[in-house]
Every structure is written in C-alpha cells, then in structure tokens.
Chain A
Amino acid sequence: MSSDTDVSQYLNVFLEETKEHLQMFTQALIDLEEADAERATEALNEAFRAAHTIKGMAASMDFRNMEQLCHSTEDLMDELRSGSRSVTPEIIDLLMVCSTKLEELTSSIEETGSDDIDVSSVILELRSFMAEEKEEEKEKEVQKEKITVQKEYDKIEKEVREGRKTYEIKVSLDKSCGFRAARSFLALKNLAEIGEIVKTVPSQDDIEEEKFEFEFEVILATDANEDAVKKALAAVADIEKVDISEEKEEVEAEVAKKKKEVLKPKGVKRKEKGKEREDVLKSVRISIDKLDTVVNFVGELVISKGRLIQISKEYDLEELSSTMAVVERTISDLQYEVTQMKMIPVENVFNRFPKLVRDLYRAQGKEVEFITEGKEIELDRTVLDEIVDPVVHLLRNSVDHGIELPEERERKGKSRKGVIKLVALRETGHITISVEDDGKGLDPDKLREKAVKKELKSAEEASKLTDEDAFKLIFASGFSTAEKTTEISGRGVGMGVVKTKVEALGGLVDIRSEMDMGTKIILKLPLTTAIIQALLVSVSDKIYAIPITNVNEIISLSRDDIETIHEAKVTMLRGSILPLVMLESIFGLSANPNNGNGNHRDKFVVVIVERSEGRIGLVVDAALEEQEIVVKPPDERFKGVTGVGGFTILGDGSVIPILDVSTLTLA
C-alpha cells in the first residue's frame, strides 16, 4: 500500500457523496422550476442543503475552487430562502450553470485529483445577484442604543444600591476565532448564569450581529467572586484573555462616556469572511502501512510488558512495582489508541451496497427492500477490507437465490417486495455481520441429495446430517443449489470462499434457514487481528493459545464421561454429542494416546470451541489464564500445518502456537 492510501480512501467517499449531493442539487433545481409554492420551498431547501454539504466536504478536502463556488451558490440561495429575493428563471439558469460547473470540478477531481478549474466568472455572476447592504438600518440602531443607555444607567444604580459587586470584564477573543458572535454569546450566557449583565460594549445586539473586532466589555453585577467569573469564562473556547476589574464608582461618568460613543456615528466593521480559512489544517494523514508498523511495535511492547510484570513480581520492590503500574497503564492506553486509529465504521463499505443490491434485483425483475443496520459499528480496517467480497457474495446470493420473483411471493402469501437486511452488531470481543433475507430459504433435503450427487457425502452420511449440518454443505467448494447459475453469482465456489476468508481472519460463519421463511448467514469476526484475547491452555507441559472468539465454555469431565464411537472420542453434553479432540495426540506430544498422561488421570479439562461446522471439545490438561496476545503469522516451516494459525510470544519469552480451530481435524 502506498502512503496516500488514506487520502484515496477519503477521496472515494468524498467523490461518492459529492456526486450524490450534486444529483440532489440538480434535481431540486428542476423541481424548483416546475413546482407549486409548497414544493418550491422544499426544493429550495434541498438544493441549499446539497450545496452546503458539498461545500463542507470540499473545504475538508482542500478543494478551494469547489468550496468557493458552493459558498457563493449557497449565499444566493439563502437570499431566495429568506424571501429577500424571489426565484426567477434567470436565477434558476444561473444555478444550473453552477451545477454544471460543479460537475466539471468533480470530474476533474476524479481524473486529476485537483479542482483546478476557473470558477471566478460564475462566482462574479452569482455575486451580481446579491443584495446590497442597506444604509437606513444603521440609523435605526443608533436610536435604539440611545434608549438602552438610559436603561443601563438605571440598572447599575440599582445594583450598586443593593450592594452587589459590579465587575468590568474585558474579554479578548482569539484571533483565529470563527463566529465571534456565537462565541461571545456563549461567554455572556455563562456570565448571566452567575449574575446579571448590566451592559455590554458593544451592545448585546451588536455583539450578536458581530459588529465588533475581537474584544468586548461586560459589566456584570453579581454576588460571586472574581474566581467564579473566571471559571464561567474558562468553559468557553477561543477566549485569549480576560481582564477583570471591580467597578467602583463613577458609574455616571462611565455612562456619559458611553453616551458620547453611541451618538458618534459608528463605523460598522465589515465581517472578515474567510479569515478562519487562513489557518493551516492541523491534521495529517497516515498510511495503513505505517499504522501497522506502529501496531507491531506496540505488540512488542505488550510482550515486554508481560515479561516486566513477571520480573517486577519476582523482585517485589516497591519502587519497581509502582513504576510498573504506570508503564502497564500507559502501554494499555497506547495499545487502545493505536487500535482505535485503525478502526473505521463499517458504513465505509456498507454504503456501497444499496446500489449493488438495487442493480441486481432490478436486472432480475425482483422487488427488494434493502435495510442496513449498525453502520456506525467500527472494525479494524484490515478486517473490513477482507470482508467486502464475502458480504457482496452473501448479498448476491440473497437476491439471486433467496428472494423469489414478485408473482411467486404473492402465491406464497408474502408481500411482493422481499426484504434483505445487512446488520452489524457489536458484541463482547467481536462483531457479527449478518445478511438475512425473507426469501425461499434452504431445502435441507435438496442439499443432502445434491451432496450425494456431487460425491461430497455418501448416501448414508447425507441421511444422517441434521438440517443444520445440511445447511452447512453450501460452504463446501463445488456446491451450488441454484437451478441455473445467474449472470453474476452462483458459480458454486462463492460460499466456500466466504467461509475460508472469514476463518482466515479468525472468525466463523453460521447459517440459519427455514423453508419459505428465509435465510440468515452470520459472520462472527474479531475486532482486530493484531492483538487478541486468548485462553492459554496446557497440554503435556506445553502451552497453547486459543483465540477467545472461538471459546464457548470450559467444562471438566471424568473418564467415564468419555465414550468412543467409531474410534472417535465423544461426550454427551446436555443431550447432544460433542466430538472431542485430544490435543496431545494431534500435536504428537505422545505417540500413543493410550499412554498419554492425560489418560492416566480421571479428570479432564475440555475447552469447548465454536467453529463453522459446529462445536467441538478440546481435551487439555489445564486451562491457565486469559490474556492479550500479539499474533505473529506462522513461520514458513509451519505454513499449512493444520491446527496452528500463528504464534505468539509470552512474557517469559517463550514462543507458543495459537490454535486455528477451524482447521483442527477430528482425530
């Protein structure tokens, strides 16, 4: 991956959304031209919102031409919305020109990565439509202020008489402050909560209209002390400096001075639009590769942390222990932060699906309502990238094989429109992504038949499969139940690939289906792949790690509980057969399982793990502890060794295998 991965990732979302909003903008303009008054207001709002959203995005991506064009467009539309200007065919024409220009800008960004197209002529035209500043308003304000001055005078006098303290507070806003009016409003609001604002300079109305530079003064009458005043202002951002002095007397003089100021014609300062743009963006984009390197280093730290904790326990020095506590916490925080940096919401990929689903069902004459839920749920970027293809496959299957044609659905008494739901759910330690449809469901008998025909199972084996196990046949490669393969999906390798991919990530696939009710396929995925929670178990003095995502429960069995059926060891658990795997024999820890030390004892610890094929029990000597481990990919020598998915290094420096339960063979 190159270093601009992150940029391109934003860029795609940016282009996608910009196009979407541009379409909305154009459609709204068309509506605006044709619609009645009510719809026109709505259309105008839609067009405004679209331009506004594009502006915000363009600014974030640093596409200045696009931003400026949107800004001017928005200004004009704001006047249309407020009614200070009415919509004329000329204005709509002009807005259409803007729309075309925005399309050109978008294409240019898509093709060359820059919005280097001249927009100044369009902006000039837009400006020529704008309203002029009205002079008479200023005059009115001067009159109004004369009246308030008298009121203020009365107020201060009253406060002083009542013995409250009055403070003169001078607030200086930061030069980078955008929206000085809003910021000042917040400051005044906080002050009003601890006392009474007697007056402000400039007046509150002027402050609200941003008719001041960066400073304003407040006279506050309050019972609170100076610290309380400072505290009230500390909760407001963008305040550079606060000067507080207790107002003694000379109230009259003060008022008189102000009177003079008010009566003097005031130069209304022009708003300095665009000032906030001068600030350089203070964020950087980092490629996933670089983040991964950091994750790896943090992984090393986590390993060393384990070792350090052990050492510190051994030596039991107070200073060492307390320092360790800090180091431990810092490393945990660091690890959390780093992991978070790689987390992105699943909607980054979910948002592509509605169109895909729509294209599919329309091509087949089907009707589908596509619902997505849990789009805000976050997943490691690497995991997310890997599951795109599987999810696409599942969605295609749902449209192609799940949802019936509208007529067929009607015959079955269902609504003509099928429903496909794509849901992400956060659960402890993992997330699930499920694709569910209310289509025809899987026919277990057909699946059994097919398995025999394809020579995947013998007739006897097939007949013994439970319905649930029969559903899982679709994950076998070379298995396809569709009567004919459609153009896009159903080549019989799909579901097998889904399973392989998900399991490679340390996840698993589950399937539920009912005839004519629908099918639900659930992908259970780890949140991240680099550092995972694992259960450490011991087998013949060797330690193994089992990813916690796979662990279902831990039970203990006595020798009598273990039975042998066709040379396979099983036990009965709550009425169903649980296949057992003797880990020590799998890893050749004792050549003859009958001589293995595990069999000399009466008690066995069994870790029940979940996998796509169902649950199995791993017989171990002891379950040790749960801990965070750093996953290292399997060494060349171990590639393809079944049952081992990677390695990790423990605190004491020992290297232990991580079990890959999906490839463990039932021996």
Chain B
Amino acid sequence: MAKILIVDDAAFMRMMLKNILGSNGHEVVGEAADGVQSVEKYEQLKPDLVTMDIVMPQMDGIAATREIMQSYPDAKIVMCTAVGQQAKVLEAMKAGAKGYIIKPFQAPKVVEEIGKVLGS
C-alpha cells in the first residue's frame, strides 16, 4: 500500500482516481487542485507517489513536476493525461516523471502503472 497524492484541477477526476486507488489498496493521503498546491502538499506529506494532471491553472503539471523533482530527485510522479497530449507527456517524462496514465482512467491500467513505478 502506497501513500498517494492526487493532483488534478477537476474534483470529478480526483474522485474517480481516488476511488480506483482506494479500492486497490492504496491510501490517498492528500489532494491538490493546481501545481502550486501540489508542491506545497508534496513537501508537507512526502507521499510515496504523486498522480499529476498536466493541464491545470496557476502552475501546470509539468512545471510542478520540475519543481518537485528539483527538491526531491527520488520523487515518483505519474502524469495524468488525456488523448492528444503526446508532446506534453513526453515533456513531462523529460522533466522527471516516471510514468503516465490516460484519461478516461481504466482501473487495471492505473494499478499496473503505479505498481511498476513504485517497484522501480
């Protein structure tokens, strides 16, 4: 069971993801609705893994990933992305993200990805 921080500006998405993670033995220790919050929450909660939406107000998920990776090089960040964002996802991987999951979320895919990233 891992402690997970969910970052997404849509409460709806956080809810869906949380249900998936929660019912697969992970503990969602916190949620953030934008990049700035995500950095703060990361510092505060030191989660095992972060699910990070890309398109968000204030600071987008890629900038937030860079910021977190800078202070915590071991951070495990999984990007949440929608179809049509190939370039952004790649950019996020270059920024240090360890994986990505695609909306609409499919529970087995999410679980697999998170398992792989946690295991690495």
A contact set with B: CB distance below 8 Å: 10, 13-14, 17, 21, 46, 48-49, 52-53, 55-57, 59-60, 62, 71, 74-75, 176, 178-179, 181-182, 185-186, 189-190, 208, 210, 234-237, 271, 273-274, 276-277, 279, 281-283, 337, 340-341, 343-345, 347-348, 351, 375-376, 378
B12 x A14 contact (CB < 8 A)? yes
Closest A-chain residue to B31, C-beta based? Answer: A376
Q: In the complex, how many angstroms separate the beta carbon of B56 from the nearest chain A beta carbon?
A: 7
CB-CB under 8 A from B9, the residues of chain A are 49, 53
Jot down 11 A-B pairs with beta carbons below 8 A, ordered by A.
A53-B9, A56-B103, A59-B83, A179-B90, A185-B90, A186-B99, A208-B90, A273-B83, A281-B104, A283-B106, A345-B31
CB-CB under 8 A from A341, the residues of chain B are 19, 22-23
Query: Taking the complex as formed, is B73 at the interface, i.e. its CB lies under 8 A from any CB of chain A?
Result: no
Closest A-chain residue to B6, C-beta based? Answer: A376
B55 x A52 contact (CB < 8 A)? yes
B11 x A60 contact (CB < 8 A)? no
Q: Which of B11, B16, B30, B120 contacts A347 (CB 8 A)?
A: B11
Q: In the complex, how many angstroms separate the beta carbon of B92 from the nearest chain A beta carbon?
A: 8
B120 x A178 contact (CB < 8 A)? no
B23 x A277 contact (CB < 8 A)? no
What is the number of contacts between chain A and chain B, taking CB atoms within 8 Å? 132
B10 x A17 contact (CB < 8 A)? yes
CB-CB under 8 A from B14, the residues of chain A are 345
A179 x B12 contact (CB < 8 A)? no
A189 x B83 contact (CB < 8 A)? no
Tell whether A337 pairs with B25 under 8 Å between CB atoms, given A13-B11, A71-B83, A344-B15. yes
Query: Taking the complex as formed, is B89 at the interface, i.e. its CB lies under 8 A from any CB of chain A?
Result: yes
How far, in whole Å, are A178 and B112 apart by their CA atoms in the complex? 14
B31 x A375 contact (CB < 8 A)? yes
In order of increasing CB-CB distance, the 9 nearest A-B pairs are: A235-B120, A376-B31, A60-B104, A182-B89, A56-B103, A59-B104, A178-B102, A237-B116, A283-B107
Q: Which of A48, A236, A283 contacts B55 (CB 8 A)?
A: A48
Q: In the complex, how many angstroms separate the beta carbon of A106 from the nearest chain B beta carbon?
A: 14
A59 x B16 contact (CB < 8 A)? no
Query: Taking the complex as formed, is B63 at the interface, i.e. its CB lies under 8 A from any CB of chain A?
Result: no
Closest A-chain residue to B24, C-beta based? Answer: A337
B102 x A71 contact (CB < 8 A)? no
Q: Which of B11, B23, B28, B90 contacts A181 (CB 8 A)?
A: B90
A186 x B103 contact (CB < 8 A)? no
The interface bits of chain B over 65-76 (1 if a CB of A lies within 8 angstroms of the residue's CB, else 0) are 000000000000
B contact set with A: CB distance below 8 Å: 9-16, 18-20, 22-23, 25, 28, 30-31, 55-57, 81-86, 89-90, 92-94, 98-100, 102-109, 112-113, 116-117, 119-120
CB-CB under 8 A from B57, the residues of chain A are 46, 49
Q: In the complex, how many angstroms separate the beta carbon of B114 from the nearest chain A beta carbon?
A: 9
B16 x A182 contact (CB < 8 A)? no
Q: In the complex, how many angstroms separate the beta carbon of B9 from the nearest chain A beta carbon?
A: 6
Q: In the complex, how many angstroms separate the beta carbon of B75 from the nearest chain A beta carbon?
A: 15
How far, in whole Å, are A88 and B16 apart by their CA atoms in the complex? 38
A283 x B20 contact (CB < 8 A)? yes
Interface centre among B12, B16, B20, B94 (most CB of A within 10 A): B12
How far, in whole Å, are A281 and B106 apart by their CA atoms in the complex? 6
Q: Which of B10, B11, B18, B98 contacts A186 (CB 8 A)?
A: B98
A49 x B90 contact (CB < 8 A)? no
Beyond A49-B56, A56-B10, A178-B83, 12 additional contacts (C-beta under 8 Å) are: A13-B11, A179-B85, A181-B89, A182-B92, A182-B100, A189-B93, A237-B112, A237-B113, A273-B83, A283-B106, A283-B107, A337-B23
A282 x B83 contact (CB < 8 A)? no
CB-CB under 8 A from A337, the residues of chain B are 23, 25
B13 x A60 contact (CB < 8 A)? yes
Q: Which of B18, B56, B105, B119 contacts A60 (CB 8 A)?
A: B105
B23 x A340 contact (CB < 8 A)? yes
CB-CB under 8 A from A281, the residues of chain B are 104, 106
How far, in whole Å, are A235 and B119 apart by their CA atoms in the complex? 7
Closest A-chain residue to B94, C-beta based? Answer: A185
How far, in whole Å, are A21 and B10 apart by their CA atoms in the complex? 9
CB-CB under 8 A from B55, the residues of chain A are 48-49, 52-53
CB-CB under 8 A from A74, the residues of chain B are 84
B83 x A277 contact (CB < 8 A)? yes
Q: Which of B28, B86, B100 contacts A210 (CB 8 A)?
A: B86
Interface centre among A179, A341, A343 (most CB of B within 10 A): A179
B90 x A60 contact (CB < 8 A)? no
Q: Which of B12, B56, B81, B89 contacts A57 (CB 8 A)?
A: B12
How far, in whole Å, are A75 and B82 apart by their CA atoms in the complex? 12
Interface centre among B25, B28, B109 (most CB of A within 10 A): B109
How far, in whole Å, are A71 and B83 apart by their CA atoms in the complex? 8
How far, in whole Å, are A341 and B104 apart by their CA atoms in the complex? 20
Interface centre among A236, A276, A279, A283 (most CB of B within 10 A): A283
Interface centre among A46, A49, A53, A274 (most CB of B within 10 A): A53
Q: In the complex, how many angstroms separate the beta carbon of B110 from the nearest chain A beta carbon?
A: 9
Closest A-chain residue to B20, C-beta based? Answer: A283
Q: In the complex, how many angstroms separate the beta carbon of A205 from the nearest chain B beta carbon?
A: 11
CB-CB under 8 A from A235, the residues of chain B are 116-117, 119-120
Q: In the complex, how many angstroms separate the beta carbon of B19 from the nearest chain A beta carbon?
A: 8
Tell whether A56 pairs with B82 under 8 Å between CB atoms, given A178-B102, A281-B106, A376-B28. yes
A376 x B30 contact (CB < 8 A)? yes
Q: Which of A60, A210, A283 contacts B12 (CB 8 A)?
A: A60
CB-CB under 8 A from A282, the residues of chain B are 106-109
Tell whether A179 pairs with B105 under 8 Å between CB atoms, given A49-B56, A337-B25. no
Q: Which of A236, A279, A351 contacts B11 (CB 8 A)?
A: A351
CB-CB under 8 A from A181, the residues of chain B are 86, 89-90
CB-CB under 8 A from B19, the residues of chain A are 341, 344
Q: In the complex, how many angstroms separate the beta carbon of B43 from the nearest chain A beta carbon?
A: 16
How far, in whole Å, are A62 and B99 apart by their CA atoms in the complex? 24
B12 x A17 contact (CB < 8 A)? yes
A179 x B106 contact (CB < 8 A)? no
Q: In the complex, how many angstroms separate the beta carbon of A431 from the nearest chain B beta carbon?
A: 15
Q: Which of B22, B82, B89, B102 contacts A55 (CB 8 A)?
A: B82
How far, in whole Å, are A237 and B89 apart by their CA atoms in the complex? 15
Tell whether A276 pairs with B102 under 8 Å between CB atoms, given A185-B90, A208-B90. yes
How far, in whole Å, are A276 and B102 apart by their CA atoms in the complex? 9
